[in-house]
Structure 1
Amino acid sequence: MPLLAIVYFSITGTTEKLAHAVARGADGIADVALCRITGDDIVSGRFQNESLFETIDHASAVAFGSPTYMGGAAAQFKAFADASSDRWSQQRWTNKIAGGFTTGACASGDQLHTLTYFSILAAQHGMLWCGLDIPGGEDPGGRNRLGSQLGLATHLIDDDLPPSDLSTAEYLGRRLAKMASRNC
């Protein structure tokens, strides 16, 4: 069975809820490794968690997740991405399937920029990007309600994630796992 590594940073727990929903979607199709970036992983401004990197090295697919802060990925996620340059120089993640998810404070809170950042990070590593194939605003179940084809973008309504966004996260996990299965 392929391995899906879900690499994410979460400060309030919202992005973590999305990460767990992505994992539920992949259940039974791929093994899943939840790889949470924590403050302890960052020493003197540099991400240092070799075990997390080794998990990604062994994965067939990777989902990147971060809240959108000030129009981009959180600094803690960026520290991880910057430290991945050692893997980049060796192209150790080439041909892995990649996708992304993010949440922001507003419906149009520049989450697309975070997803674009993730896709560029994946491209630099030679990864193959997997977006959503659910037309925004057209799904009977309300999935992909913000209409981002690049990946899952969401925001809180009444201080909680809507069920449709969690369903979209599960769908993204299932899609990544299925693509990884084909790529093995």
Structure 2
Amino acid sequence: MTSSTTRVAIVYHSGYGHTAKQAQAVARGAASVDGVESLLVSVDDIDQHWTMLEDVDGIIFGAPTYMGSASAQFKGFMDATSRNVFAKGGKWANKVAAGFTNSASRSGDKLATLQQIAVFAAQHGMHWINLGLPPGHNNSKSTEDTLNRHGFFLGAAAQSDADVSAEVAPPPADLRTAEHLGARVARVAQQLAAGRRALALKEAA
């Protein structure tokens, strides 16, 4: 890693492995951008990573949607940031942020989870990055095998049948959508970091 490397962390919770698979796809997408390092962080291990998260350029948050909300474990992480981040001077302010979620139902009220995560990012003064894709499956000639097949705009959404394992779900289209989000956030984080370096050089001249 060089001083110009852009670092993007993917902080997630997964109850049954499906959201972990989605998180891995987000991380692949971020790492596919030249000069970007992606870091996967499970909220189960979050206490080992608070300091590292202060130094990254962006954080992409992910959680399964349970009963119309982010999982209790992810909400526990969110609450823990009040003392580990917010109370310590807003260490995440001006980083880029984005979100993803997964549920067994096609809708499953996933939008509520993405909105919850977006508000959480705003509370930390972060810059929210949307999915940046049009709806992928909304006419008679489109298919399920398209990016953003569920038609979400705020973040990346995936659907995993409740009776199948993470070995077969989420389906490839949802994983490619997750990769797209990771790459989009990585590029924006990289651009923002480059702009800050350019401004610093200009001010120092």
Same fold (TM over 0.5): yes
Matched residue pairs, number?
A: 175
Give 1:182 deviation, angstroms: 0.7
> 2-side partners of 1:94 and 1:136: how far apart?
31
Give 1:152 deviation, angstroms: 0.8
> 2-side partners of 1:173 and 1:166: how far apart?
11
Structure number, greater radius of gyration: 2
Q: Is the 8 A contact 2:137 2:150 kept in 1?
A: no
Other-structure match for 2:18: 14
Other-structure match for 1:76: 73
> 2-side partners of 1:55 and 1:116: how far apart?
25
1:88 aligns to 2:80 (yes or no)? no
Compute the RMSD of aligned alpha carbons.
1.7
SS of 1:153's partner is strand
Give 1:54 deviation, angstroms: 1.4
Give 1:57 deviation, angstroms: 0.7
**1:156 maps to which of 141, 157, 160:** 160
1:99 aligns to 2:62 (yes or no)? no
Give 1:137 deviation, angstroms: 2.4
1:131 aligns to 2:130 (yes or no)? yes
Letter in 1 for 2:80: A
1:3 aligns to 2:7 (yes or no)? yes
1:36 aligns to 2:45 (yes or no)? no
Q: Is the 8 A contact 1:7 1:62 kept in 2?
A: yes
Deviation digits for residues 158-182 of structure 1, max 9, x if unmatched? 7321111000000001001001101
> 2-side partners of 1:78 and 1:28: how far apart?
29
Deviation digits for residues 51-80 of structure 1, max 9, x if unmatched? 322121111010101100111001111111
SS of 1:84's partner is helix
Normalised to the residue count of structure 1, the TM-score between the two structures is: 0.90
Give 1:28 deviation, angstroms: 4.2
Other-structure match for 2:49: 52
> 2-side partners of 1:91 and 1:32: how far apart?
22
> 2-side partners of 1:145 and 1:179: how far apart?
23
Unmatched tracts of structure 2, length 5 or more: 194-205
Letter in 1 for 2:15: I
> 2-side partners of 1:65 and 1:165: how far apart?
14
